[in-house]
Copies of this chain bind each other. A is one copy, B any other.
Amino acid sequence: MKYCSHCGSDAVTFSIPKGDDRPRHLCGNCGAIYYINPRIIVGTLPYLGDKVLLCRRAIEPRRGLWTLPAGFMENGETSEEGALRESWEEARANIRVDDLYTIYDIPYINQLYLMYRGELTDTSFGPGPESLEVKLFEEKEIPWDEIAFPIIQETLAHYFADRKTGSFPLRRGVIHRKL
């Protein structure tokens, strides 16, 4: 951040405001303080029978790898609405949500993931502009080495394990940077 978006001044420093305990972008001219907070990623785990829907990414990062439909939650929507919106945008998938399924913190990239589990209500899915391909996979067909993100691997692994018991409790976790 080089310029203050309130007053246009270039007197912006990254320093600790009075009464705070951590550095913020701070305007030395008008006093504006800018808070940058973690972002929420919302998505779904869409299933149909014993298959799960994955999307092959058409965009960076991890272009060409497989993922579950997910993206940044927007202002004015609930997390479930955002998850369904992303599922439509990326996979043209219509889903009836069962429940919230995984919550993962990824503190080193300032993200919180909320993934909803839900059944496809039809088979009219297909790639949206951010996907190269959208496809149903049985467990033994999952391309584990070509999954885009660890959080998606963990969500899928929980799902296939929980499906054996028929019980899908909320799964929480933290993804740490690989050393």
Q: Which of A105-113, A135-143, A158-166 contacts B (4 or more CB under 8 A)?
A: A105-113
Which A63-82 residues sit within 8 Å CB-CB of chain B? 72-81
A151 to chain B, nearest CB (A): 13
CB-CB < 8 A to A5: which residues of B?
1-5, 12, 34
Q: Which residue in chain B gives the minimum CB-CB distance to A78?
A: B105
When each residue 17-46 of chain A gets 1 if its CB lies under 8 Å from chain B and 0 otherwise, what string results? 001001000000000001111111000000
A5–B73 Cα distance when bound, in Å, is: 23
A145–B114 Cα distance when bound, in Å, is: 32
Pair B170/A35 contact, Cβ less than 8 Å = no
Asked whether any CB of chain B lies closer than 8 Å to the CB of A100, the reply is: yes
Q: Name the prevailing secondary structure of the A interface residues.
A: loop
Which residue of the partner chain, among B4, B7, B37, B172, contacts A39 with CB atoms under 8 Å? B37
Q: How many residues of A contact B (CB 8 A)?
A: 41
A56 to chain B, nearest CB (A): 19
A7–B10 Cα distance when bound, in Å, is: 9
Pair A110/B22 contact, Cβ less than 8 Å = no
A110 to chain B, nearest CB (A): 4
Asked whether any CB of chain B lies closer than 8 Å to the CB of A8, the reply is: yes
A residues at B contact (CB < 8 Å): 1-8, 10, 12, 19, 22, 34-40, 72-81, 100, 103, 105, 107-108, 110, 112, 114, 129, 170, 172, 174
Pairs of residues from A and B, 8 with the lowest C-beta to C-beta distance, nearest first: A3-B8, A78-B105, A75-B110, A5-B5, A1-B5, A37-B39, A170-B170, A3-B5
Query: What are 25 A-B interface contacts by the 8 Å CB criterion?
Result: A1-B5, A2-B5, A2-B8, A3-B3, A3-B5, A3-B6, A3-B7, A19-B129, A22-B74, A37-B72, A37-B73, A37-B75, A38-B40, A40-B40, A40-B112, A75-B107, A75-B110, A76-B107, A76-B108, A77-B107, A78-B105, A78-B174, A79-B103, A100-B170, A103-B114
